[in-house]
Amino acid sequence: EAQVTQNPRYLITVTGKKLTVTCSQNMNHEYMSWYRQDPGLGLRQIYYSMNVEVTDKGDVPEGYKVSRKEKRNFPLILESPSPNQTSLYFCASSREVTSGGSDTQYFGPGTRLTVL
Amino acid sequence: GNSVTQMEGPVTLSEEAFLTINCTYTATGYPSLFWYVQYPGEGLQLLLKATKADDKGSNKGFEATYRKETTSFHLEKGSVQVSDSAVYFCALKLNYGQNFVFGPGTRLSVLP
């Protein structure tokens, strides 16, 4: 079954304690990205990756890091989480096409993060 | 910069009513346009898309037409069902290798 998986699904942590949210896809997609969803703000893209070792900032990258060492995995790293990073996070992947923008994005189930 | 504007919600309709959710965009170029739907407790799913002007995307009775002249991509459905209750997001993506931009979402509630 084609899917994007995220772990953990729920996480409560404290300010300053480094954490990693994993994301994995089994569709051999080139394009992967991370979003955060906040009430009234919709989805905002944090980082995206065109392929292995190629990453770029989205609209709200501050306080986050990513890496793309393998095509299937795209972890999101919070080196020193703060309460304003409390949010619902989604990972997504898609096949990138050279014209007409991207193909369909497939979203993971979400990770609800609370930073105290 | 690039941006997407959607009508404010929530939108509350009775079953079998006609639905329109407005979406307009600003983009430096000619984007692909998307509507995504998010059901309670789930991630987003693609509902429909259009990649060039005058294209019409359609799926599950929903339609949207890419209007370059008005920079719009309004979502419509002729007869909504209770199961259509969800949050709907309009989004754009410009070119190869660029990022997605989403609107704030519009919550739809359909009452029996």
The string of pLDDT tens digits covering residues A30-56 is 889 999 999 888 889 999 998 899 999
Q: Count Cβ atoms within 10 A of the Cβ of residue B4 and give its class: 0-12 exposed, 13-18 middle, 19 or more buried.
A: buried
Percent of residues in chain A assigned helix, strand, coil, to nearest 5: 5, 50, 45
Determine if the peptide bond prior to A8 is cis (ω within 30°): yes
User: B21: which 2 tokens?
Assistant: 């959710």
Q: Which of B46, B104, B105 sits opposite A105 (nearest CB)?
A: B46
* Confidence tier at B99 by pLDDT (50, 70, 90): confident
Determine if the peptide bond prior to B112 is cis (ω within 30°): no
User: A85: which 2 tokens?
Assistant: 């990073």
**Residues in chain B closer than 8 A to A104 (CB atoms):** 46, 49
Spans of chain A below 70 pLDDT: 97-102
Q: What is the pLDDT of residue B30?
A: 82
Q: Count Cβ atoms within 10 A of the Cβ of residue A7 and give its class: 0-12 exposed, 13-18 middle, 19 or more buried.
A: middle
* Confidence tier at B43 by pLDDT (50, 70, 90): confident
Hunting for tokens 């009452």 — which residue is that? B111
For β-strands A87-94 and A31-38, DSSP reports them as antiparallel
Q: Which amino acid is at A40?
A: G
CA separation for the pair A32, A57 (Å, rounded)? 12
Q: In this predicted model, which residue has the larger pLDDT, A105 or B87?
A: B87
Q: What is the pLDDT of residue A42?
A: 84
Tell whether B103 lies on the interface with A, counting CB pairs under 8 A: yes
Contact A43 B89 (CB under 8 A): yes
Q: Chain-wide mean pLDDT for chain A? A: 92
The residue in chain B having the minimum alpha-carbon distance to the alpha carbon of residue A100 is: B51
Percent of residues in chain B assigned helix, strand, coil, to nearest 5: 5, 55, 45
For β-strands B106-111 and A10-13, DSSP reports them as unpaired
Determine if the peptide bond prior to A81 is cis (ω within 30°): no
Q: Chain-wide mean pLDDT for chain B? A: 92
Q: What is the pLDDT of residue B35?
A: 96
For residue B93, list its beta bridge partners.
B32, B100
Q: What is the pLDDT of residue A104?
A: 79
Q: Are the beta carbons of B90 and B34 closer than 8 angstroms?
A: yes
Contact B99 A101 (CB under 8 A): no
CA separation for the pair B73, B63 (Å, rounded)? 9
Average pLDDT of the residues in B45-70 = 94
